[in-house]
Amino acid sequence: MICERCGNEIFKYEQCNYCKRKICVNCMKSSRRVSKINRIVICKDCWGKMSRRKQFKSESKVEKSEIKYEPYPYQR
C-alpha cells in the first residue's frame, strides 16, 4: 500500500489519530500508548499544528497516570 502523506510504498502503516491518514514510519512524528489497547499516533503535519500537538501531549499525560496507578501483578 501507499503512504497517504509522502506517497512511498509501505508494507506496514500507522494511522494518524488526528488526520486519520495512513502513514509510513518516516511520516510518523511520535506515538504514545495511552492504555493497554490504545495507542495514539501523530504525523509530522499534525505535529506542526499547535492545537493538535497540545492535544497529543495532554493525551500522553493519561498514559503516565495509568502507569502510576496500575497495580503490580500478584504472585501466584
- Which residues of the chain form contacts with Zn ion (CB under 5 A)? 3, 5-6, 16, 18-19, 24, 27, 43, 46
The stretches of the chain forming alpha helices (DSSP H) are 44-47, 50-69
Q: How far is the CB of 58 from Zn ion (least distance, A)?
A: 16
**Closest separation in Å from C-beta 70 to Zn ion:** 29
Least separation in angstroms between CB 48 and Zn ion:
9
Count of Cβ atoms closer than 10 Å to residue 27 Cβ: 22
Q: What share of the chain is helix, strand, coil (3-state, %, to 5)?
A: 35, 20, 40
For Zn ion, the closer of residues 19 and 34 by Cβ is 19
